[in-house]
Structure 1
Amino acid sequence: MPNIQATMTPSHTPCEELKPDGCGIIIFGASGDLVYRKLMPALFNLYVRQLMPEKFYILGFARTEMSDDDFRERARKALTDAHKNSEAHIIDSFLSHCRYTSGDYNNIEAYRQLQKKASICECDYTKKENKLFYLALPPQLHSTVVSRLSQSGLTVEGDKGNPWARVVFEKPFGHDLQSALDLDNHLCSMLNPSQIFRIDHYLGKETVQSILMLRFANIMFEPLWNEKFIDNIQITVAESVGVGHRGGYYEQAGCLRDMFQNHMLQMLSLVTMEPPTRFEAEYVQNERVKLLKAIRPWSERTLKDNIVRAQYTAGEINHEAVQDYRQEANIDPDSITESFVAMKLYIDNWRWQGVPIYLRSGKRMHMRESEIAVTFKRVPYSLFGFESQHEMPANILVMKIQPNEGVDLTIHTKQPGPKSCMASLSLSFKYSEVFDVAPQDAYERLLLDCMLGDRTLFLSSEGVEAAWTIIDPILNFWRNYPEKSPLQTYKAGSWGPKASDDLLLRNGHQWRNPPDEHGTHFKSLAKPLLVRR
């Protein structure tokens, strides 16, 4: 299929980022992988782009004993690995703002020491008491840390939130609906809702952010964005990697909790929500919640027929042999934890009634690819030599989330030759090719918004509850009726089990499997474009 590259003309809307006030960023779990793999590189990028506050400090806190210099050296290695072209003096300048202290997360005395070190940092750097607490911790520690922060007075805000104190939580937000409600009640007993930032890094990705702008800033799309013109929507988050060092966590969570309760449902809500009155946090969050509440409740029949769970077996990815899920580190050799889930669901409202929504995500799939594909209905009558309109290929709008962020729109046009000779063209752009800068890392966007106090791209307590209301019945069904929801298997390096394909075939649909590195569709079921001469 020919690829027509789009050119971009910047609009006259303001594109300058706001710069936050001076603050301290206090990272709990500062000895963990997430901090050096994601958080420190993201903060450094903001620093290089001159989007960090004029005065700031980063204070790491964890059980591991380290000196300030030890913490800086760990961070230096991470930054050098992530930013090989960065000059040493810029890294040195950034690291000069970094400090570290250690202690037990449950020991109130450790928080008093933390408060003392934060006060010293404030004197040295910010002259302000604004604090952003980032909990890069296992979820079972969230309640403990917030309790101790509250008891030590570290989360107390001034009049009208000046100075401010905000707490950022990594997923998962609870293990099921009841635990999520319990956690939320606990947090709200000690923090104001405006202080709570539940982070979902998928919402920080450029293409995910652009969904609302694509829909609501382009008059050509929104009139078609409904059941009259859209045939189906597919959301795929495919990962070629296995569980890696996260085996212990993944064995307890599984794909449904790890991907669907948050990332998948949040992307779905952005694609299908009603337009908010304003592009502000409260309005956007409310529309996302309304959408999730409109998803059709599960019945025993739909739980059995519309959901597929599976686990990968040994296979080959990129010409390298990979092992069975049950052979991974920290995995039960008799594990029944799913590494793949596919589902079909419906949204019961006027806009989407009857439109099937397909979601799938899995580990050890053929390639790393995340995308949202909106397939439009075919023309009602074929003028161009096809026996019926059903032979006509559909127009498809694809929002590519990763690894190559961008947008593709498939249309049909005449190609040179006989008058009925038709070809499909892809109008496409990639952020990395069209704009002068690489797409901003999701954590950069979200960390900056935390410091600015903008909660638009974060989850509300109502949104977390609505998502668990969808996921909880599935977990209960799998637990109580395993014979009605058997665990399928799929070979590593494939696009999932046959049952996943069958799920769509029952509606006359097929998964849109992205082309591989050679430009061909791996085991694609899509029919070739028919050309009548």
Structure 2
Amino acid sequence: MKTSISLSPTIIVIFGGTGDLNLRKLAPALYNLYSEGYMPEKYAIIGTARRPLDDDKFRNTLMEGVNSFSRTGKVHKDKWESFSKNIYYQSSDVKDSASFDELRIVIEKFKDEFGPETQIVYYLAVSPDLFPAIAKRLAKFKLAENEDNCRIVVEKPFGKDLDTARELNELLKERFKEKQIYRIDHYLGKETVQNIMAFRFANSFLEPLWNRNYIDHVQISVTEQLGVGDRGGYYDGSGALRDMIQNHLLQLLCIIGMETPINFDADEIRDKKVDVLKAMRPFSAEDIRFNTVRGQYSKGWIKGTEVPAYRSEKDVPDDSNTETFAAIKFFVDNWRWKGIPFYVRTGKCLTQSSSLITIQFKDVPHQVFPGGAAENWQQNRLIISIQPEMSIRLQVQGKRPGLDMILNPVDMVFDYKGTYTTESPEAYETLLLDVMTGDQTQFMRADQVEIAWELLMPVINAWEQKKSLSFPNYTAGSVGPENAEALIARDGFHWFTLPLNKD
């Protein structure tokens, strides 16, 4: 299969070429793009890291990563040989200027071979503390001067608070144009997340209902069965609020809450997302007390396996105050959403792994059926399942078959597995292709990042300054802290979960 997209010759430089991100995500994504005809005819992938390797050993390392982590399984021998002949390795130190001079020579060689239309993508798959060093040297050695053909991809976390995010934005903006900077959030590349836009804006019956007049509340819930594993050192400096809510979940909220864009231009869509963030109600001390919940898991059992408490995980301090669970009630104070709560939660070591967006509609204004008929009555819900099931379902009331008038909730379901035979691409495949085509729609803009941090800084500061005396306050394998249930129960609601398929 060949893509209809015209792609210029491309050089992809991956800083952190031997790291987990490249092995688990980037290399499998690029191989799958190649296999399905979505790579440029002329391309070069250059991995850089400090480890001494030659090209062949680097290619073999990436092949092991593709074999282990690609959605398509093990590589096809002929395709891999054809794909990997364009993979190269350069041993380098991002803090050493001489390494960038060597990289410049390699890039110039490929540009001479590929022609004047060659575009260059610099992917920073490294620790965030190395972002400034790389950005400064790319600018110093004039490796990204062509603003039309040079792009820099920055992984999360983008800063650890508002000040560091602003500092990094200023550093990047001094050296690159905004249109060159791709702040990646892999959640925005997920197939179901992208389908929210299509579902909202391509169906005329939804828009009249998508507001405070018909919607009761919105839930965005991303839960994980896994604990922190070997990432304890990193995670303890981050926590659930920074790791998930500041980026992934707030972006989902923006897609649900945004106004209809006038076109599909990247900045038009991002403008609408920024408008949502600007309209979100700031947190007062009282709001933090009543509308936020934090938690940390104790030891427990998940799928028959005993799980250690967070404070017993590797590289986690015995008295850690870092939250592994967070739940927050947000409000968007504009005409569309005024007074409608958005409940957001995320956590580790919970009873199931799932990502759900639930829009609950208001009840009918007058109940015409007798009490017995509506014994199982529930309000209409729209449920968007991002993972593990990929589906969109509308829950409505219907009559149960029989002579009596008995109403039951029934689902009208669109699920990917039952509708399409083709396999959905991984998020990184979608986003890497967007980078190569120059489409910034699914990437964070500088103002988006900063406003999101600004919104959450009062909560972050309050939680850091006041140690939780209740930690740990939920058992591994449970649904989370009791206070999270109380947060939503006070308003007469409950956290919605979708029964997982057993097959």
Same fold at TM > 0.5: yes
Moved more, 127-136 or 386-395: 386-395
Correspondence for 1:431 = 416
Q: 1:416 Cα shift?
A: 1.1
8 Å Cα contact 1:316-1:322 kept in structure 2: yes
CA RMSD in angstroms comes to 1.9
Counterparts of 1:220-231 in structure 2 under 5 Å? 220-231=205-216
1:391, distance to aligned residue in structure 2 (A): 7.3
3-state secondary structure, aligned to 1:407: strand
In structure 1, distance between residues paired with 2:219 and 2:4: 33
Deviations 1:281-315 (A, max 9, x none): 01000010010111111111110111111011111
- Is residue 281 of structure 1 aligned with residue 237 of structure 2? no
Please state how far the C-alpha of 1:365 moved relative to its aligned partner.
1.0
2:318 corresponding residue in structure 1: 333
Q: Report the counterpart of residue 317 of structure 1 in structure 2.
A: 302
**What SS does the corresponding residue of 1:189 show, helix, strand or coil?**
helix
Deviations 1:448-494 (A, max 9, x none): 000111000000001001100111111111123446x9545211111
Question: After the TM superposition, which residues 132-151 of structure 1 pair with which residues of structure 2 at under 5 Å, given as runs?
Answer: 132-151=121-140
Q: How many Å apart are 1:85 and its aligned residue?
A: 4.9
Structure 2 distance, partners of 1:477, 1:322, is 29
**Is the alpha carbon distance of 1:497 and 1:18 closer, same or farther for their aligned partners in structure 2, counting shifts above 3 Å?**
same
Verify the 8 A CA contact 1:201 1:443 in the aligned structure 2: yes
* Paired position in structure 1 for 2:476: 492
Confirm or deny: 8 A CA contact 2:377 2:407 kept in the other structure: no
Deviation at 1:38, TM superposition (A): 0.3
Aligned partner (choices 93, 108, 111) of residue 82 of structure 2 = 93
1:327-406 alignment runs, 5 A limit: 327-386=312-371, 392-406=377-391
In structure 2, what is the equivalent of residue 440 of structure 1?
425
Q: State the SS of the aligned residue for 1:231.
A: strand
8 Å Cα contact 1:199-1:458 kept in structure 2: yes
| Counterpart residue number, 1:62 | 49
Question: Any idea what SS the aligned residue of 1:496 has?
Answer: coil
Per-residue CA deviation, residues 33-87 of structure 1 (Å, 9 max, x unaligned), is 0101000000111101101001001000111111111110101111222343542
Letter in 2 for 1:109: A
Q: Is the CA contact (8 Å cut-off) linking 1:174 and 1:180 kept in structure 2?
A: yes
Shift of 1:333: 1.7
Q: Which residue of 2 aligns with 1:199?
A: 184
- Which letter maps to 1:329? K
Alignment match, 1:505: 489
- Name 1:35's counterpart in structure 2: 22
1:209 matched to 2:194? yes
**Matches of 1:39 and 1:347 in 2, distance apart?**
36
* Matching of residue 300 in structure 1 with residue 289 in structure 2: no
Name the TM-score, length of structure 1 as normaliser: 0.90
- Pick aligned residue for 1:104 from 93, 98, 104: 93
1:371 counterpart SS class? strand
Is the deviation greater in 325-334 or in 80-89?
Answer: 80-89
* Counterpart mapping for 1:74-93 below 5 A: 74-81=61-68, 82=70, 83-93=72-82
Gap change, CA 1:178 and 1:315, over 3 Å in 2: same
Does residue 1:245 correspond to 2:230, yes or no? yes
Q: CA 1:324/1:221 → structure 2, altered by over 3 Å: closer, same or farther?
A: same
1:131 aligns with 2:131: no
Tell me which residue corresponds to 1:22: 9
In 2: Cα distance, 1:21 partner to 1:408 partner: 40
Cα distance in 2 for residues equivalent to 1:335 and 1:469: 25
Contact 2:299 2:309 in 1 (8 A): yes
One-letter code aligned to 1:28: F
AA in 2 matched with 1:89 = D
Following superposition of structure 1 onto structure 2, how do residues 112-191 of structure 1 map, counting pairs within 5 Å? 112-123=101-112, 128-157=117-146, 161=148, 164-191=149-176
Q: Which amino acid aligns with 1:290?
A: D
Q: What one-letter code is carried by the residue in structure 2 that aligns with 1:79?
A: V
Contact 1:28 1:135 in 2 (8 A): yes
Q: How does 1:234-273 map to 2 (within 5 A)?
A: 234-273=219-258
Hey, what's the Cα distance between the residues in 2 that align with 1:452 and 1:279?
A: 15
Kindly provide the CA deviation profile for residues 100-135 of structure 1, in whole angstroms up to 9, marking residues without a partner as x: 001111111100111122233445566754100000
The residue type paired with residue 56 of structure 1 is Y
Which sits farther off after the overlay, 191-200 or 326-335?
326-335
Cα deviation digits, residues 429-455 of structure 1 (max 9, x gap): 222331121111110110000011100
Give the 3 Å change call, closer, same or farther, for CA 237–20 of structure 1 in structure 2: same
Cα pair 1:406 1:428 within 8 Å, conserved: yes
Aligned position for 2:217: 232
Once residues 264 and 462 of structure 2 are traced to their aligned partners in structure 1, the CA distance between those partners, rounded to angstroms, is 38
- Structure 2 equivalent of residue 514 of structure 1: 498
With 472-481 and 299-308 compared, the bigger mean Cα shift is at 472-481
The CA distance in 1 between the partners of 2:163 and 2:333, in whole Å, is 25
Checking the alignment, whether the CA contact within 8 Å between 2:298 and 2:472 is kept in structure 1 is: no
**Displacement of 1:390:** 11
- For the 8 Å contact 1:382–1:392, the answer to whether it is kept is no
Preserved contact between residue 378 and residue 390 of structure 1 (Cα < 8 Å): no
Aligned to 2:144, what secondary structure does the other structure show? Answer: coil
Corresponding letter in the other structure for 2:236: E
**More moved, 47-56 vs 419-428:** 419-428
Contact 2:66 2:74 in 1 (8 A): no
Provide the rounded CA distance (Å) in 1 between the counterparts of 2:182 and 2:43: 20
- Quote how far apart the aligned CAs of 1:332 are: 1.1
Letter matched to residue 147 of structure 1: K
Aligned partners of 1:57 and 1:126 also within 8 Å: no
Matched residue of 1:385: which SS?
coil
Contact 1:239 1:368 in 2 (8 A): yes
Task: Rate the CA distance shift 1:434–1:352 in 2: closer, same or farther, 3 A.
Answer: same
Amino acid at match of 1:307: T
SS of aligned partner of 2:473:
strand
- Work out the CA distance in 2 between the residues paired with 1:436 and 1:517: 19
CA deviations 1:165-185 (Å, max 9, x no partner) are: 000000111111111111101
Letter in 2 for 1:378: D
* AA in 1 matched with 2:48: F
Counterpart residue type for residue 438 of structure 1: E
Q: Deviations over 1:185-218 (max 9, x none)?
A: 1100000111000000000011111112111111
Residues 1:126 and 1:49: Cα distance change in structure 2 (over 3 Å):
farther
SS state at 2:443 partner: coil
Confirm or deny: 8 A CA contact 2:280 2:332 kept in the other structure: yes
Question: For 1:92 and 1:177, how far apart are their aligned partners in 2?
Answer: 45
Secondary structure of 2:441's partner?
Answer: coil
